[in-house]
Amino acid sequence: MTEPVETTEPEALAPPQIPVHEAFAALQRDVQEVAKTSRNEDDGFNFRGIDAVMNAVGPAQRKHGVFFTPRVLSWKTERYRTTDNVGMKCAEVEVEYTVRGPAGDSFTGTAVGEAADRGDKALASAQSVAFRIFLTTGMTIPTEQPDPDGSSHKRAAHSAEAAAAMDAMTQLFREHAGGDKEVLAQMHAEAVKEFAERHGGIDIRNCLDPKPIEALTEEYRAKLTAPAS
């Protein structure tokens, strides 16, 4: 009976200590293309998702000793409703990426990502989009068209009734501001903030129902016209 032979996996060779631009060029040579295997069923087209891009880039990245460090430069969010009256949150983020090579030197690049979600994933999705764009454009991975998100929706137009209610609120603020643009801007900002706090973060300028706008306007009218005590 023969004794079992112990085997060990060979250690991976450390990448050569070359400048980052040479390591990045080697990374580009290894990642020639990424197929559009994800499907947007809403609008009927294929696209390249973040997982497909990272699955292609990751092995080559580790092979050549290149890694990326993200830093968020700015971000903003917005709430609105679709034509199907679904509450959505849209996020836009600008991210700076430091690309570091095996020798320790580095360079930076930036990308902007935008995404929408009906829950709490809009900002995370926007960061994924930014990273996907950074990789596909920075590494010049071939593509036939811009990479869209995996789902689509149509933003509802502002209703005439809601627009009229907003005009009435603006007129009230103008009468009280007396031509002072700073006071007018401050009143508008306060109204936007108060409306969002009362209605789940919805921007009053995207509200389709005039009733809550009219109700808030009447509250301000009562406050602004009340006699001083």
Q: Which of 68-82, 137-151, 159-173, 195-209 has the highest mean pLDDT?
A: 68-82
Percent of the chain with pLDDT over 70: 80
More reliable by pLDDT, 24 or 13 = 24
| CB-based burial label for 132 (10 Å; 0-12, 13-18, 19+) | buried
Q: What pLDDT digit, counting tens, does each position of 151-165 carry?
A: 566 665 556 788 888
Closest CA to 149 of 72, 35, 39: 39
Q: Which residues pair with 40 in a beta bridge?
A: 45
**DSSP 3-state assignment of 3?**
coil
Label residues 154-179 b or e (16+ Cβ within 10 Å = b): eeeeeeeebeebbebbeebbeebbee
| Per-domain boundaries in the chain | 20-138, 160-225
CB atoms < 10 A from the CB of 111, how many?
21
Say if CB 220 and CB 191 are below 8 A apart: yes
Residue 162, both tokens: 């809601």
Instruction: Please give the helix or strand (H or E) that residue 94 lies within, else none.
Output: strand 87-100
Confidence of residue 64 (pLDDT cuts 50, 70, 90): very high
User: What's the mean pLDDT when you consider all of the chain?
Assistant: 81
What angle, rounded to 10 degrees, do the helices at 210-225 and 160-177 form? 10
pLDDT of residue 22: 94
pLDDT at 10 over 60: no
CATH 1.20.1260 fits 20-138, yes or no: no
**DSSP 3-state assignment of 147?**
coil
pTM listed for this prediction: 0.56
CA 71 to chain centre: 14
**DSSP 3-state assignment of 181?**
helix
H-type helices in 20-98, by residue range?
20-30, 50-63
pLDDT of residue 92: 94
